[in-house]
Amino acid sequence: MAEQKKKQLHLGAFMRPVSLHTGAWRYPGAYPDANFNFQHIKSFAKKLENAKFDAFFMADHLAVLNMPIEALRRSQTVTSFEPFTLLSSLAAVTDRIGLVATASTTYDEPYHIARRFASLDHLSGGRAGWNIVTTANPDSARNFGKEEHKEHGERYARAREFYDVVTGLWDSFAEDAFIRDVESGIFFDPDRMHVLDHHGAELNVRGPLNIARPPQGWPVIVQAGQSEPGRQLAAETAEVVFCAPRTLEAGKDFFKDVKDRAVAVGRDRDDIKILPAAFVLVSNTVEEARQKRLKLDSLVHYDSAIASLSIALGFDASKLDPDAPLPTELPETNASKSGREGVIKLAAAENLTVRQLAQRYGGYSSLAFVGTPETVADEMEQWLLQEGSDGFNVNFPFLPEGLDDVVKLLIPELQRRGIFRKDYEGTTLREHLGLKRPKNKFFS
């Protein structure tokens, strides 16, 4: 009997900004301009492809982030490439890695989105993915001639209809529509073209799209909402879900909830891949990795760091002694008790001072794997086997060193265990992720 293949991790690379950690651009040896230097980004994409990552994920913001100016002036997020321009350029210098871009359903139109992703899918040979976002930053509204941001529920209602329109536009032409018969002079068969003629609560779009059906049928649908309407949207539409659970137990709850919802609407559990965001820092010893993390956290300016800790604790933490441990007796507040308990547990587990704790929260405080290739692989494998995730969307601590360490140290260990590919088995992002090619809604 043939040996059953082990479950496989799927790995995306979160690359906008190139690191989510606030201090990343200041780390010794890091490229301060990594977020806005095409030559650097091109080299990162090639390294990720050589390591057989599923996808290069390009998040996006439609406004400068709404944070206090003292924090903003220290943030690398203030400048970044427009996703489609960047990923189209990367499509020309890579061959296999998926290319995922964020595009807003609140501040764009379905026809624009359908054209851009169809074009990217054709240009890349079937490697495009659309990260559906409703846009959280209220400052975006003023950049698009609106005084107020749409209400949360309204944004998700529009997103659901938006998805139907975009996927309908991708199906405008049958696979065999383009005859291109030189002798007869017939370029395409009009009977194999569908006019969408959509009239809905939010959108009116005639169609058809003026681009042939994408190589993947549809670019891969990605979604990142974690609220109640976000989870339901994911269950109904997404093929990859980016999320941010801080613990394995939270990951298992989210994994089960979204996949159960998908089954309830008639989908298969394997139609959705759950990929939590994970900060990954690997080194030769656990202590060396921890010291690198502490060094990285120390580069977060205390003024902005303590503001983040105050939010997490629910009171003004600036009055605490920065170089003393977190006090055992803290003021009562109405802030999230679970979030506050998480801060207290972290401080005790790693013996952090108030300053170090603040810099952790001001830098990157979500799920993190910090250790040797073996210990990080242990944790990732545990998440995979216990159904906390189908893989991870990796956030690198600093670049290029942090990315190089993952590629040179961690990937070989995952491959040795048989839980990550040694080579791509297909050419499209759908094939990398093990996702079905969608049928055309209008043509069999």
Specify the pLDDT at position 335. Answer: 57
pLDDT over threshold 70, residue 336: no
Kindly tell me the sign of the dihedral angle through the C-alpha atoms of 364, 421, 100, 217: negative
> Do 345 and 197 belong to one domain?
no
Distance (Å, rounded) from C-alpha 241 to C-alpha 174? 29
| Average pLDDT of the residues in 348-372 | 90
Together in a domain, 240 and 134:
yes
Q: Three-state DSSP class for 259?
A: helix
The band of 364, judged by pLDDT with boundaries at 50, 70 and 90, is confident
Domain boundary among 365, 387, 415: 365
Domain annotation covers residue 41: yes
Judged by average pLDDT, the poorest of 217-231, 304-318, 349-363, 383-397 is 304-318
Q: Same structural domain for residues 85 and 127?
A: yes
* Domain identity same for 107 and 187: yes
Identify the weakest region by mean pLDDT among 72-76, 261-265, 343-347: 72-76
Which of the four pLDDT bands, split at 50, 70 and 90, describes residue 236? Answer: very high
Output 28 or 334, whichever has higher pLDDT: 28
128's tokens: 């495009």
Q: Are residues 336 and 417 in the same domain?
A: no
- Indicate if 113 and 135 belong to the same structural domain: yes
Q: Where are the alpha helices (DSSP H) in 238-367?
A: 248-264, 286-298, 302-313, 337-350, 354-363
Q: Is this model's pTM higher than 0.95 or not?
A: no
CA distances from 283 to 47, 346, 380, 404 (A): 18, 21, 16, 11
Residue 92 has pLDDT above 90, yes or no: yes
- The whole-number pLDDT of residue 152 equals 77
Q: How many CB atoms lie within 10 A of CB 147?
A: 6
What confidence tier does 69 reach under pLDDT thresholds 50, 70, 90? Answer: confident
Beta bridge partners of 99: 56, 128
Number of domains in the chain: 2
Q: Is residue 2 situated within a structural domain?
A: no
Evaluate whether residue 259 is within a structural domain.
yes
Q: Largest Cα–Cα distance in the chain?
A: 86
Q: Is 46 exposed, middle or buried (0-12, 13-18, 19+ CB in 10 A)?
A: middle
pLDDT of residue 241: 97
Q: Which of 326, 341, 365 is the last residue of a domain?
A: 365
- What is d(CA 6, CA 10) in angstroms, rounded to the nearest whole number? 13
Contact 402, 369 (CB under 8 A): no
The arithmetic mean of pLDDT across residues 171-188, rounded, is: 97
Tell me what the mean pLDDT of segment 152-158 comes to: 85
Has residue 439 been placed in a domain? no
Residue 103's domain comprises 10-283+372-433
Residue 24 belongs to domain with CATH number = 3.20.20.30
pLDDT tens figures, 97-128: 999 999 989 889 999 999 999 999 999 999 99
